[in-house]
């Protein structure tokens, strides 16, 4: 099999995956977890090096490390260890020098489809120095350097440069925007208070968004990433659903009924806010039209309803109800009709999150040993898997926009921290290490 | 241990002033009529909440404004990468508001300790009031009858097990169970407010039943203000 055929097969597999996803979104019953599909093939990619040209000592290594981790987490590529394949890592310059041709051939012969390298340095600026980064991509299928990127910015955005480059690679080979530039909103304790924070998807560069001194809980992104909606306690005695604009810090109160006002979730088109409120007695679900400000009640039940999560089409909601005793997952149409129970296994199932591909709903399941772990179930109820095991309380699963990962909180290491895991339960990675309590992560949409 | 009721009345008057001030101060970031109607009615935030839905900007899907991916290029031109600092506003605490909040909480604690109110403890997953809880609430009801000007807030709390969201619902069930029993004992419902803190304001943080027990509680607080 020659290289061109191999690339063709790999790309074919990617396209077939994308095609199958398209069918799922249109409502077909078959479901699968794409990363665990037997025919899913990652594209073998090697990062040669990011050479440091006159920059600070850490520059090249930092870029290379961030890029490699992004490539690995993309789950689109298989990150190849070039030295172990006997490929000598050396300066490849712009990829046109004589010696590099031999290296390209050697990599291709060892099954590496894509080679990536680059260089980085400092440019003296008038006010402050600028970091420059160049990245190049060799594709063994085309047997040529297919292109590259040049970035410039302040030294504080070095990680972001690597993230952008990683997302360009994912975009090139899948047409998807990638997740390396996505962010995670979460709640972090500041003394007895809980405030909203945002960090990069890999846990770096966290920023505090609120400083109210009491409780701000359960942030959710708007679909265009401009806002977060969340539960805010006003004067310690009542809850509102508030919205904050990330670029300005400006805040609005969306809902301020008496009683609970919790678990807000904006629809995929941003036109509706689903939320739970107990102002008419017990906790019920409502839908606020964000354009007309009209509110429609969706559920009427003596039990508690909460935690609505939208299907990616916006046509359905999954939610929690304890109408059978303990909390269980239910589905309904977005207008409140056609309610049916989804989970039957176990006596406690809560905190649902509908995957962006539509094919899974992640949630917190209580095991027979009374442990609170992550599970996923298909919307037709036919397939169910437990993703995490062991001690500690897992909570608040939220999907990456590519549907290949989940972020969640867990007390597995003692204090509550935030973790990332692949959608098939592999590659658990801890994201937060500071502070006494980090919880309620919500993954931003891609840009 | 009793406290002269005029002292509590004084504390309530001062507390009401504090709540009113902080209520107005905190809403500066909010747009629209909610604040106005609240001021016009001259009531605390609980009543203002009846207005329900505030005014806020359109959240419909828009272009995020951040530069998208442009693809690889054989002769790439330079792209400027802007940091998160340019797109994310950092929070600044309002020391005045935080200070008032701390003062109010301290006043509530002092008033509640002076009143000697008893808390109610619950079983795992449960919001049923035990015999012990009924006895505690019996004494709390007596205090409320001898202090007719006092208002009490019932906080519902949960242990760390289970989800944050469902524990907020469970905490409200506990707080309402406490309120309802006090009403059964003859306390006027409009002197009792409820709020659920779920598992977000625990009394202890250890992962053990001794601590869980402490956190499954209906906590009674003499309200400062109102």
pLDDT band (50, 70, 90) for residue B24: very low
Whether A395 sits inside 8 A of B164 (CB atoms) is yes
Residue A340 CA to residue B48 CA, distance in Å, equals 36
Which pLDDT value is given to residue B86?
52
Alpha carbon distances (Å) from A22 to A313, A356, A359, A444, B4: 12, 12, 11, 22, 72
**Mutation site for A-interface testing, chosen from B32, B47, B166, B211 by largest number of A Cβ within 10 Å:** B166
| Tokens at B145, concatenated | 């009858």
From the list A164, A233, A251, the residue facing B81 with the nearest CB is: A164
Nearest CA to A229 out of A203, A181, A191, A261 is that of A261
Q: Which whole number is the average pLDDT over B130-143?
A: 97
pLDDT digits (tens, 9 = 90+) for A248-307: 999 999 999 989 999 999 999 999 999 999 999 999 999 999 999 999 999 999 999 999
Of A151, A211, A227, the CB nearest to B91: A211
- The full DSSP string for A193-238 is EEEEEEEETTS-S-EE----SSBEEEEEE-TTSSEEEEEEEETTTE
Average pLDDT over residues A234-241: 88
Report for A21-35, A87-101, A139-153, A432-446: range of highest mean pLDDT: A432-446
| A227 CB within 8 Å of a chain B CB | yes
Condensed to tens digits (0 to 9), the pLDDT of residues A91-102 reads 666 565 666 888
Phi, psi at residue A91, to the nearest 5°?
A: -70, 120
pLDDT of residue A39: 59
How does pLDDT run across A139-178, given as a tens digit for each residue?
Answer: 998 889 999 999 999 999 999 999 999 999 999 999 999 9
Helix (H) or strand (E) holding B212, with range, is helix B209-215
Phi-psi region of A191 (alpha: psi -120 to 50; beta: other; left: phi over 0): left
**Residue appearing with tokens 């909601």:** A317
Mean of the per-residue pLDDT values of chain A: 89
**Do the chains contact at A156 and B83, CB–CB below 8 Å?**
yes
Who has greater pLDDT, B88 or A121?
Answer: A121
CB < 8 Å to B51, chain A: 256
| pLDDT attached to residue B98 | 83
* pLDDT at res. B88: 64
Residue A187 has pLDDT above 80, yes or no: yes
**Distance, CA of A167 to CA of B145 (rounded, Å):** 66
Chain B neighbors of A439, CB-CB under 8 A: 164
- Region A45-61: mean pLDDT is 92
Q: Which residues are paired to A329 by β-bridges? A: A320
Among residues A4, A3, A47, A42, the alpha carbon closest in space to that of A136 is found at: A47
A371 confidence band (pLDDT: 50, 70, 90): very high
User: B122 to chain A nearest CA, in Å?
Assistant: 16
pLDDT of residue B9: 46
Give pLDDT, residue A95. 60
Residue window 305-324, chain A: list those with CB within 8 Å of chain B.
306-307, 320, 322
A111, A81 in Cβ contact below 8 A? no
d(CA A402, CA A180): 11
Q: How close A212 comes to chain B (CA, Å)?
A: 7
Residue of A93, A119, A148, A168 whose CA lies nearest to B73: A148
| Percent with pLDDT over 70 in chain B | 71
- Residue of A222, A257, A411 with shortest CB distance to B160: A411
Please state which of the ranges A6-15, A196-205, B181-190 shows the lowest mean pLDDT. Answer: A6-15
Torsion-angle region of B42 (φ positive above 0: left; ψ -120 to 50: alpha; else: beta): left
Instruction: List Cα–Cα distances, A162 to A131, A177, A180, A436, B5, in angstroms.
Output: 12, 14, 9, 30, 66
> Which of A99-103, A225-229, A409-413 is least confident?
A99-103
In this structure, chain A runs to a length of: 447
Look at strands A77-80 and A43-53 and give their pairing: parallel
Alpha-carbon distance B226 to nearest alpha carbon in chain A (angstroms): 12
Structure tokens at B185: 């004992």
Q: Looking at residue B143, what is its pLDDT?
A: 96
Structure tokens at A323: 């109408």
A71-80 pLDDT, tens digit per residue, is 999 999 999 9
Looking at the complex, report in whole angstroms how far the Cα of residue B8 sits from the nearest Cα belonging to chain A.
19
Element of type H or E holding B193: strand B192-198
What are the E-state strand segments in A298-360? Answer: 305-310, 316-324, 326-333, 340-341, 349-354
Q: For testing the chain B interface, which of A96, A258, A442 should be mutated: the one with the most B CBs within 10 Å?
A: A258
CA–CA distance, B127 with A266 (Å, rounded to integer): 31
Examine the pLDDT at B3 and tell me if it is beyond 50: no
Listed residue (A135, A131, A133) closest to A118, CA to CA: A135
ipTM computed for the complex:
0.88
> Which of these, A406, A431, A302, lies nearest to A354 by C-alpha position?
A406
User: What is the tens place of the pLDDT at every residue in B199-211?
Assistant: 999 999 999 999 9
Higher pLDDT among residues A314 and A325, named by residue: A314
Residue A158 corresponds to which tokens in the numbers above? 């070095």
Least confident window among A9-13, A130-134, A387-391, B207-211: A9-13
3-state SS, one letter per residue, for A2-57 = CHHHHHHHHHHHHHHHHHHHHHHHCCCCCCCCHHHCCCCCCEEEEEEEEEEECCCC
- Comparing CB atoms, the residue among B46, B72, B88 nearest residue A172 is B72
Per-residue pLDDT band for A336 (boundaries 50, 70, 90) equals very high
The greatest distance separating any two alpha carbons of chain B, rounded to the nearest whole angstrom, comes to: 84
Ranges A309-318, B30-39, B209-218: which has the least confidence: B30-39
Contact yes or no for B52/A256 (Cβ under 8 A): yes
Of B22, B105, B163, the CB nearest to A364: B163
Arithmetic mean of pLDDT, B131-139: 97
Spatial CA neighbour of A334 closest among A282, A274, A384: A274
User: What percentage of chain A's residues is helix, strand, coil (to nearest 5)?
Assistant: 15, 40, 40
Decide: helix, strand or coil at residue A121: strand
Bridging pattern class, strands B78-80 and A144-153: parallel
Chain B interface mutation, best of A237, A350, A397, highest count of B Cβ atoms under 10 Å: A237
DSSP summary character for residue B67: -
Dig out the tokens for A58 from the structure.
């850490």
Give B-chain residues touching A192 at CB under 8 angstroms.
201
Q: Which of residues 131-190 of A touch B (CB under 8 A)?
A: 132, 134, 137, 145-154, 156-157, 160-161, 164, 167-168, 171-172, 177-178, 183
Spatial separation of the C-alpha atoms in residues A196 and A216, rounded to whole Å: 6
A256, B54: Cβ pair inside 8 Å? yes
Nearest CB among B89, B173, B194 relative to A249 is that of B89
Residues 6+ apart with CB under 8 A from B122: B128, B129, B130, B133, B174, B216, B217, B218
- Per DSSP, the three-state class of B20 is helix
Please report the domains of chain A, with CATH numbers, ordered by start residue.
Answer: 42-174 (3.40.50.10070), 183-443 (2.120.10.30)
Cβ-based neighbour number of residue B42 at 10 Å: 8
Query: If pLDDT is split at 50, 70 and 90, which confidence band does B87 have?
Result: low
Q: Would you say residue B170 has pLDDT above 80?
A: yes
Query: What's the pLDDT band for A440 if we cut at 50, 70, 90?
Result: very high
Lowest mean pLDDT among A81-85, A242-246, A284-288, B176-180: A81-85
State the smallest CA–CA distance between residue A433 and chain B in angstroms. 18
Of B93, B163, B166, the CB nearest to A211: B93
Residue A20 has pLDDT above 50, yes or no: no
Quick one: what percent of chain A has pLDDT higher than 90?
79
The mean pLDDT of A382-407, rounded to a whole number, is: 96
What are the Cα distances from residue A300, in Å, to A138, A281, A282, A296, A331?
Answer: 59, 10, 9, 12, 14
Quote the DSSP letter at residue B16. Answer: H
Query: Is residue A440 within 8 Å of A218, Cβ to Cβ?
Result: yes
Give the pLDDT confidence score for residue A93 in this predicted structure. 61
Nearest residue of A to residue B153, measured between CA atoms = A237
CA distance A288 to chain B (A): 9
What's the distance, Cα to Cα, between the start and end of chain A in Å? 38
Mean pLDDT throughout A24-53?
Answer: 65
CA distance A285 to A296: 9
| pLDDT value of residue B28 | 33
**Domains in chain B, CATH or no CATH each:** 100-222 (3.30.1330.60)
In this structure, are residues A301 and A317 in contact, taking their beta carbons and an 8 Å threshold?
A: no
For residue B46, the chain A residues in CB contact (below 8 A) are: 237-238, 258
């Amino acid at each position: 099999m020659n290289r061109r055929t191999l690339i063709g097969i790999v790309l074919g597999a990617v396209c077939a995956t994308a095609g199958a996803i398209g069918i799922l979104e249109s409502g077909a019953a078959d479901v699968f977890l794409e990363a665990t599909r037997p025919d899913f093939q990652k594209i073998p990619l090697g990062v040669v090096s990011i050479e440091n040209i006159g920059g600070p000592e850490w520059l090249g290594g930092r870029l290379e490390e961030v890029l490699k981790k992004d490539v690995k987490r993309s789950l689109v590529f298989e990150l190849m260890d070039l030295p172990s394949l006997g490929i000598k890592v050396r300066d490849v310059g712009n990829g046109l020098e004589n010696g590099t041709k031999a290296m390209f051939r050697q990599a291709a012969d060892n099954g590496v489809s894509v080679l990536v390298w680059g260089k980085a340095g400092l440019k003296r600026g008038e006010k402050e120095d600028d970091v420059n980064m160049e990245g190049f991509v060799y594709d063994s299928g085309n047997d040529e350097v297919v292109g590259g990127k040049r970035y410039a910015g302040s030294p504080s955005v070095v990680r972001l440069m690597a993230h952008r480059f990683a997302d360009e690679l994912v975009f090139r080979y899948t047409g998807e925007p990638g997740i390396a530039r996505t962010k995670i909103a979460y709640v972090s304790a500041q003394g007895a208070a809980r405030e909203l924070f945002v960090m990069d998807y890999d846990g770096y560069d966290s920023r505090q968004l609120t400083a109210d001194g009491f409780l701000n809980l359960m942030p959710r992104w708007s679909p265009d990433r401009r806002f977060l909606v969340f539960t805010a306690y006003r004067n310690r005695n009542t809850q509102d659903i508030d919205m904050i604009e990330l670029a300005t810090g400006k805040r609005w109160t969306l809902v301020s009924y008496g009683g609970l006002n919790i678990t807000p979730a904006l629809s995929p088109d941003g036109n509706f806010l689903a939320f739970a409120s107990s102002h008419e007695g017990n906790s019920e679900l409502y839908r606020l039209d964000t354009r007309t400000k009209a509110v429609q009640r969706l559920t009427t039940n003596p039990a508690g309803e909460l935690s609505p999560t939208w299907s990616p089409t916006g046509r359905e909601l999954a939610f929690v109800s304890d109408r059978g005793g303990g909390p269980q997952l239910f589905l309904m149409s977005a207008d409140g009709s056609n309610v049916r129970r989804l989970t039957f296994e176990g006596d406690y199932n809560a905190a649902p999150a509908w995957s962006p591909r539509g094919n899974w709903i992640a949630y917190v399941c209580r095991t027979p040993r009374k442990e609170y772990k992550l599970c996923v179930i298909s919307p037709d109820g036919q397939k169910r898997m437990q993703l995490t095991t062991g001690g500690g309380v897992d909570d608040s699963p939220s999907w990456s926009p590519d549907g290949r990962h989940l972020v969640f909180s867990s007390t597995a290491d003692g204090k509550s921290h935030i973790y990332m895991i692949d959608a098939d339960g592999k590659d658990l990675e801890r994201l937060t290490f500071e502070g006494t309590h980090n919880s309620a992560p919500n993954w931003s949409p891609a840009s | 241990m009793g406290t002269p009721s005029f002292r509590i009345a004084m504390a309530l008057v001062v507390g009401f002033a504090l709540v009113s001030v902080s209520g107005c101060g905190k809403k500066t970031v909010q747009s629209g009529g909610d604040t106005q109607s609240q001021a016009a009615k001259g009531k605390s935030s609980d009543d203002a909440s009846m207005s329900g839905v505030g005014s806020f900007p359109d959240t419909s899907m828009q272009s995020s404004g951040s530069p998208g991916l442009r693809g690889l290029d054989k002769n790439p031109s330079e792209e400027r990468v802007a940091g998160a600092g340019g797109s994310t506003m950092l929070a600044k605490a309002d020391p005045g508001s935080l200070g008032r909040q701390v003062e109010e909480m301290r006043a509530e604690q002092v008033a509640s300790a002076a009143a000697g109110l008893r808390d109610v403890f619950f079983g795992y997953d449960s919001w049923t009031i035990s015999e012990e809880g009924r006895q505690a609430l019996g004494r709390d009801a007596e205090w409320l009858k001898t202090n007719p000007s006092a208002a009490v807030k019932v906080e519902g709390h949960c242990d760390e097990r289970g989800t944050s969201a469902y524990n907020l619902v469970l905490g409200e069930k506990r707080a309402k169970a406490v309120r309802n029993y006090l009403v059964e004992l003859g306390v006027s419902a409009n002197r009792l407010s409820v709020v659920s803190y779920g598992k977000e304001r625990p009394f202890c943080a250890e992962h053990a039943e001794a601590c869980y027990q402490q956190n499954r509680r209906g906590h009674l607080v003499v309200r400062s203000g109102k």
